[in-house]
Amino acid sequence: EAGYLIPKTILKAKLQPFGALTWKNFQGLDQASFQYDAGFNYLISAHNLKWTLQYSSRPVFNYVAGKQKVVDSRGSLILQTQIYF
């Protein structure tokens, strides 16, 4: 996992791009898998208001020759906010 906080922009807010790479090896599955996440945080009023846009890639498992194997990958786009009072 890595991120970098870019200094204030013209909008008097900060951007923080980030990325993560994860390797998972669950006992219930026959194959390990890699997932990645990438996105950015948009910080307004210090850390009192934050918007996050993130893309996440996840594996799709299916039975191949009697074993659970990664057969595809699907992604999801996540938009979230956090407000601190």
pLDDT tens per residue, range 12-60: 788 899 999 999 888 888 888 889 999 999 988 777 899 999 999 998 8
Please determine, for residue 9, whether its predicted confidence score (pLDDT) is greater than 70: no
Residue 85 confidence class, pLDDT cut points 50, 70, 90: confident
Asked if 40 contacts 32 with a C-beta cutoff of 8 angstroms, the reply is: no
Asked if 21 contacts 7 with a C-beta cutoff of 8 angstroms, the reply is: no
Q: Record the tokens describing residue 4, joined without a space.
A: 């970098």
- Stated pTM of the model: 0.76
CA 75, distance to chain mean position in Å, is: 10
pLDDT tens per residue, range 56-84: 999 888 888 888 888 888 999 999 999 98
